[in-house]
Chain A
Amino acid sequence: EDQVTQSPEALRLQEGESSSLNCSYTVSGLRGLFWYRQDPGKGPEFLFTLYSAGEEKEKERLKATLTKKESFLHITAPKPEDSATYLCAVQVGIQAGTALIFGKGTTLSVSS
């Protein structure tokens, strides 16, 4: 069974304190790994898609990396506005347009 596990479940950081969120996956044929940010009461906001091991993508203070078993979302010098739930999801199989399988998310709180 395809599975996505995120850790930690919750993370509290001081402003400027860098850290990483983990997403480990067990799937049969990874097509893509997605990172989203979700604020309370809102839909997920797309951050990155990673397709192959070794790939890295950056956006402002965020950097996502991918290995054959897991992905990391590195947050450098976070600010309070980075507080949100970060969701990892995978798309599996060879067919395009299939749904995503989500992890339970990591809720990040950044205090000033």
Chain B
Amino acid sequence: GAVVSQHPSRVICKSGTSVKIECRSLDFQATTMFWYRQFPKKSLMLMATSNEGSKATYEQGVEKDKFLINHASLTLSTLTVTSAHPEDSSFYICSVHDSRGKETQYFGPGTRLLVL
């Protein structure tokens, strides 16, 4: 399977600040990555699809100006939570689309964001 890393694993920030989360595909080049959000004891909700070299596609209800996604290379996608508020506190998880052989998706370890 693919190896996916996320950084940081945990972050605490003050309300109004911006936080950048990195998602890296460590062992293959991923043209497509996904960003999900997970609330406690809830399932994963897709936020956006990140395609290398093009603008991200956001799901309905996700503010693109608040959650900035940049997929600048085939191994790195970043999610920036701008002007964070306590309601943005959540577990953010990225995944990469692996099209080698039978396609599947592999997930990163997640980033826990707490906004005070």
Contact = CB atoms under 8 A, between A and B. Distances in A.
| A36, A42, A44 interface centre (most CB from chain B within 10 Å) | A44
Interface string B9-25: 00000000000000000
Contact of A87 (B44, B45, B49, B99): B44
**Secondary structure type dominating chain B contacts:** strand
B109 A43 contact: yes
B43 A97 contact: no
B103 A32 contact: yes
Nearest to B35: A99
Interface residues of B, number: 27
Contacts of B97: 96-97
Interface stretch (A60-68, A69-77, A101-109): A101-109
Contacts of B110: 41-43
A100 interface: yes
6 contacts: A46-B107, A51-B102, A97-B32, A99-B34, A102-B44, A102-B45
Contact of A104 (B4, B43, B105, B107): B43
B107 A44 contact: yes
Interface of B: 1, 4, 6, 31-32, 34, 42-46, 49, 91, 93, 95, 97, 99, 102-110, 112
A3 B112 CA distance: 27
B106 A46 contact: yes
A46 B43 contact: no
A34 interface: yes
Contacts of A22: none
Contacts of A104: 42-43
Contact of B99 (A51, A97, A103): A97
A43 B1 CA distance: 14
A79 B91 CA distance: 28
Contacts of A43: 4, 6, 93, 107-110
Given A97-B32, A99-B49, A49 B102 contact: yes
A90 to B, nearest CB: 12
B31 A97 contact: yes
Contacts of B34: 99-100
